[in-house]
Chain A
Amino acid sequence: DGGITQSPKYLFRKEGQNVTLSCEQNLNHDAMYWYRQDPGQGLRLIYYSQIVNDFQKGDIAEGYSVSREKKESFPLTVTSAQKNPTAFYLCASSIPIGRGDQPQHFGDGTRLSIL
């Protein structure tokens, strides 16, 4: 079955440590996204990528970095510069940007906590 796989489901980070969240999709989607969800809030866009080797900052990119070396993969690194990293992180994908009539499909998320 086609879908989006996020790993790990739960992740713990020590202070000052970088961690990388994995996102893989086999939907043949060109566009991929990373969101963050905090309790009582909607999803906020961190980064998005329209095509391989290209990505753009979203609303809350500070303290995060991404890469898009393959169409299927869009890993997110939460750096030590992110002062409040505890959150639920969601990865999504869609057909190319510009087709606003196509929904994004989401993975099941990674919950990141600080030790």
Chain B
Amino acid sequence: DQQVKQNSPSLSVQEGRISILNCDYTNSMFDYFLWYKKYPAEGPTFLISISSIKDKNEDGRFTVFLNKSAKHLSLHIVPSQPGDSAVYFCAASAGQTGANNLFFGTGTRLTVIP
């Protein structure tokens, strides 16, 4: 059963506009959420994270929003650049339980059109 879901397999955005990638989860024990970026034939690269005690975390052009009541998080990229074109994975863990195992979504392929 998929505990972390990314319902949009792909997203296309014009360069300079905002990209919004969405992620939903079902396990209320998750308390730490991460976004990874992946290029073909490479491993995922950590992008940004957020703890469940926060509702927003920002790092440069990347902002992650967490809505715990809706069990939903989103990644905003502003402004989008062609180099942002990649597959983005959402992941979650129940870190406070003592396990650092990550549960991954199926990914969203972002294409930024120049």
Chain A residues proximal to chain B, CB less than 8 Å: 4, 6, 9, 31, 33, 35, 40-45, 48, 58, 90, 92, 94, 96-109, 111
Contacts and interface: CB of A to CB of B under 8 A. Distances in A.
17 contacts: A35-B104, A42-B2, A42-B107, A43-B104, A97-B98, A97-B99, A97-B101, A99-B100, A100-B32, A100-B96, A101-B32, A101-B49, A101-B95, A102-B100, A103-B34, A105-B46, A108-B43
B25 interface: no
| Chain B interface residue number, banded | 20 to 34
Contact of B41 (A33, A99, A106, A108): A108
A82 B91 CA distance: 26
Contact of A98 (B34, B36, B44, B98): B98
Interface in B55-99: 89, 91, 93-96, 98-99
B21 interface: no
A100 B95 contact: yes
Contacts of B110: none
Contact of B44 (A31, A90, A99): A90
Interface in B2-27: 2, 4, 6, 9
B19 to A, nearest CB: 20
Contacts of A97: 98-101
